[in-house]
Chain A
Amino acid sequence: MKGIITMDHGSGYGRTSELIESLFLASFSGTGLSDQGDSAILSIGSDHIAFTTDSFVIKPVFFPGGDIGKLAVCGTVNDLAVSGAHPRYLSCGFILEEGLPLEDLERIVASMAQTAQAGGVKIVTGDTKVVEKGSCDKLYINTAGIGTIREEYTHITNAEKVKPGDVIIINGTIAEHGLAVLSFRNSFENSIISDCTPLSGLIEKCLESGADIRFMRDATRGGIAAVLSELAVKTKTGIELFENAIPIRDEVAGLCEMLGFDPLYVANEGKVLMAVSEKEAGKVLSVLHNHPDGKNSSIMGTVTEKHPGSIVLNTSIGGRRIVDIPAGTQLPRIC
């Protein structure tokens, strides 16, 4: 392979996917990796487990609504939960930069412990490395997690049961994590806080309702557009989105306008997208609406047999347009 790694390789879509397909999948073939779900679903004897890992690098490490520790636990707990698994155990690996105040580390670890408890997981193993000043930015955290998963939920992560007619549900307002972090970095004063939260409790309630949930994925980097685009391509169906039904706070929408961002591509850390059969949508919505992290839940789209592989947005003025996946992270623009 030629070239070098640029920031776009970490965007979560576009170049990241190219890298995964052309290098990682090509090299690590013949494993669960090829499903490209949020977790690998593995069988040990007759039991199924979900296994996932994620690394966390964020500047700043403390931001409105969370910190790198909370993020590291939520990220992995959510990847397990959206796979239909019951998250159980986490590992955590720390890479610490020489000079990091112990006070900061203490705060981050306390936040991890608290989030693990909220997410119903135990942190059971870990590792610590220290690198010279300048070799990393304060600290990086890797977490891996395993969860148990019931046979009847193993299809959720690979979306094989998604059909035209299903509806797309989201559990609340979008684009808050990305803009909270960006605002903090740029000293924009506002009340936008990260939506970073463990979704395991909320998802468990939805599954327990017995509703026919056919797909779940948490919309993180790349926003809801990245998840839905993957879903459309994978299931060879089309997705119709309704702009008016996509929950977004005014303040978030306003800041997106100022920066030239499309909120559909902005990162979330506490949002799950579900594909549910139309007749069971009401059941799921009522569960969601009764949960603190689901009060603003909404049916924001449908799965269709038309335009397979693409997302079409029905705009608030009644127009239609394709929602595509940009090549890399959105950059603030003036033009």
Chain B
Amino acid sequence: MIPLMSEYRDKTRVDEILTAIRDISRKQVTFMEVCGGHTMAIHKSGIPSLLPSTIKLLSGPGCPVCVTSKYFIDEAAALARMDNTIITTFGDLIRVPGSLTSLSREKADGRDIRMVYSPLDALAAAKENPDKNVIFLGIGFETTAPSSAAAVLEAETLKLDNFYILSAHKVMPPAMSALIDGGVKINGYICPGHVSTITGSRIYKPLVEKYRIGCVVSGFEPLDILQTIFLLVKQCETDTPELENQYTRAVQDNGNRKALSLMNKVFERSDDWWRGLGIIPDSGLQLKKQYIKHDAHRVFEINFEKGPEEEAGCRCGDVLKGTISPPECPLFSRVCTPGNPVGACMVSSEGACAAWFRYSGEAKP
């Protein structure tokens, strides 16, 4: 049996690496994780309570739910109100407030909104309901976009013309550059492991070269994350920013070529709007022309009402950019809670604010 999970949670190994980190850490450094999965893993295992005070971790815009426009939800809701339409979505989006409504609210009003674990389930729904439009809400970065692409191609093969995607898929590197261009002060990136499984670790090379910032591709277990932090601290202490790959068991330099080629076959880059960050050139993925008949946005061209995009006082943009920590936002935990999220970062359980709210706080012995 190969080591998969529990081995990377072994306390003895964790203690060893923590000692090694404490031994070499002198400079005050800030690292940013740009993957919500890392945010969750870091808080869930209590890593912040174990690190020396020289190391600060910030959460970047790595939660796809958090960076997706509220109007995406409004548009999905408007599509759900069409006759003979089934909306299929990952559970992540169900509670996310749009500017005027949410999918859970629409579901309570009787719309056919179904939670799925996989785009494969959405395809199955399209097969079973040939008389209905089945729309899959495509969110996520490079990890998830190939699955959506594969679903579109399978729909083509099976001639499922009633299968559509409403795409909010995005790609990571342009946002990582935009953050630094926008003045975010960090000493290294904890790079997203599963995005890199698809893209390969080499996509971060330009970041290292252009900004002289350390980039370490990381796995998701406590030992992975701590090894990554160690490597970044080492780079900072010796002033040698470079690209390293801690997650070698799942990430290669060139990534997963097959998945990339399917993704590029179906999707093309477009400028995209990120909640908190604004428009980032070439950071979105939309369906290519030859697959336009599966593009819910362009086929239905649905009109929908829009409320305000952001609430007054909400500082999600600054949280996503890493310029403040969640508790520094005036709304955090007073007005904005996981039960009543105001901003994007509180909406998803892996959002920076939600993770902070749920897992950190006053956890002193």
Contact = CB atoms under 8 A, between A and B. Distances in A.
Interface of A: 4-8, 14-15, 186, 257, 259-260, 262, 306-307, 310, 312-324, 326-328, 331-335
Interface stretch (B86-94, B171-179, B233-241, B256-264): B86-94
7 cross-chain pairs, A with B, having the tightest CB-CB distances, nearest first: A319-B46, A331-B91, A327-B339, A320-B363, A321-B359, A321-B46, A317-B14
Nearest to B119: A334
A31 B289 CA distance: 66
A224 to B, nearest CB: 16
11 contacts: A6-B105, A307-B364, A310-B361, A317-B14, A317-B50, A318-B11, A318-B15, A321-B359, A331-B95, A333-B348, A335-B63
B222 interface: yes
B28 interface: no
B30 interface: no
B74 interface: no
Contacts of B337: 327
A327 B95 contact: yes
Contacts of B36: 335
A324 B222 contact: no
B257 to A, nearest CB: 23
Given A318-B15, A335-B140, A312 B108 contact: no
A331 B92 contact: yes
Interface string B317-352: 000000000000000000001111000000011100
A18 to B, nearest CB: 8
* Residue from A312, A317, A328, A335 having most chain B Cβ neighbours under 10 A: A335
Contact of B91 (A319, A321, A327, A333): A333
Contacts of B361: 310, 322
Interface of B: 5, 9, 11, 14-15, 36-37, 43-50, 63-65, 90-92, 94-95, 104-105, 107-109, 115, 117, 139-140, 144, 222, 337-340, 348-350, 357-365
A326 B358 contact: yes
Contact of A315 (B45, B139, B360): B45
Contact of A332 (B50, B91, B340): B91
Contacts of A315: 44-46
Contacts of B108: 4-7
Contacts of A335: 36-37, 63-65, 90, 92, 139-140, 348, 350
B339 to A, nearest CB: 3
A334 B91 CA distance: 8
A326 B91 CA distance: 15
A186 B114 CA distance: 13
Contacts of B350: 333, 335
B349 A333 contact: yes
Contacts of A332: 90-91, 115, 117
A328 B359 CA distance: 17
A17 to B, nearest CB: 10
Contacts of B90: 332-335
Given A7-B107, A322-B358, A333-B349, 5 more contacts: A314-B46, A324-B338, A327-B95, A327-B339, A332-B115
A14 B338 CA distance: 10
B344 to A, nearest CB: 13
Given A320-B49, A331-B94, A331-B115, A306 B365 contact: yes
B144 A6 contact: no
Given A328-B95, A335-B140, A321 B104 contact: no
Contact of B45 (A317, A323, A326, A331): A317
A128 to B, nearest CB: 28
A318 B359 CA distance: 14
Contacts of A333: 90-92, 348-350
B338 A326 contact: yes
Nearest to B351: A335
A319 B44 CA distance: 9
Contacts of B14: 317-318
Contacts of A310: 361-362
A324 B349 contact: no
A327 to B, nearest CB: 3
Nearest to B13: A317
A316 B11 contact: yes
A257 B37 CA distance: 12
Instruction: Pick from B222, B339, B358, B365 the residue with the most CB of A within 10 Å.
Output: B339
A319 B50 contact: yes
Nearest to B90: A334
B46 A313 contact: yes
